[in-house]
Amino acid sequence: MTKLTDVLTRLCRARDVLREVHDRTLTIEEVAREAAMSPFHFIRQFNAVFGETPHQARIRSRLERARLLLARGEQSVTEICMEVGFSSHGSFSTLFARRVGVSPSQYRRRARSMVTVPGTYASQLFPGCLSLMGAAFAILEKQQAVESVRVVACESS
């Protein structure tokens, strides 16, 4: 393995460690040690490769997991907050709203409205023009059914 691929492999491994949910918080020194780098060099290299600092990657990963759990709707917002590694419901909600654009509760409501019954489609997933086309086709099918009934009635008489 070349030195560059070795460094990239270690950085990817460190990113995976950051993504995992841990019972305790990891220090940057522990993660840098995992990548066999000094903390300063690790932060600089991580940012250069992934476009974000290790802390930003950890927060983004936690919020992605929170979004998934909120969409499932099986736990309270407070339980999700604690499960993904935040210690304060208030700081979690504020950060979630800032990064996602809506509060965790609003996100959950929107996600639930997107859930569909099997065999149907969520209207939010379709552009308006397609929704209008569906209604237009339904009207057209009704008109064709009425026309066919008229033709049959005329042929019978």
> % helix / strand / coil in the chain, to the nearest 5?
75, 0, 25
Own/partner pairs for 110-115, CB < 8 Å, 24+ apart? 111/67, 111/70, 111/71, 111/73, 112/71, 112/73
Q: What architecture (CATH level 2) is domain 1-51?
A: Orthogonal Bundle (1.10)
- How do residues 67-82 score in pLDDT, each as one tens digit? 989 988 889 999 999 9
Class of domain 62-122 as given by CATH: mainly alpha
Q: Which residue has the higher pLDDT, 120 or 38?
A: 38
The sign one gets for the Cα dihedral 134, 136, 137, 138 is positive
Q: Is a pLDDT exceeding 70 seen at residue 97?
A: yes
45-57 average pLDDT score: 92
pLDDT bracket for residue 153 (50, 70, 90)? low
Mean pLDDT rounded to a whole number for the chain: 81
State how far the Cα of 75 lies from the Cα of 119, in Å rounded to an integer.
27
Structure tokens at 42: 């690790």
**Residues 45/23, Cβ–Cβ less than 8 Å:** no
For the whole model, what pTM was predicted? 0.66
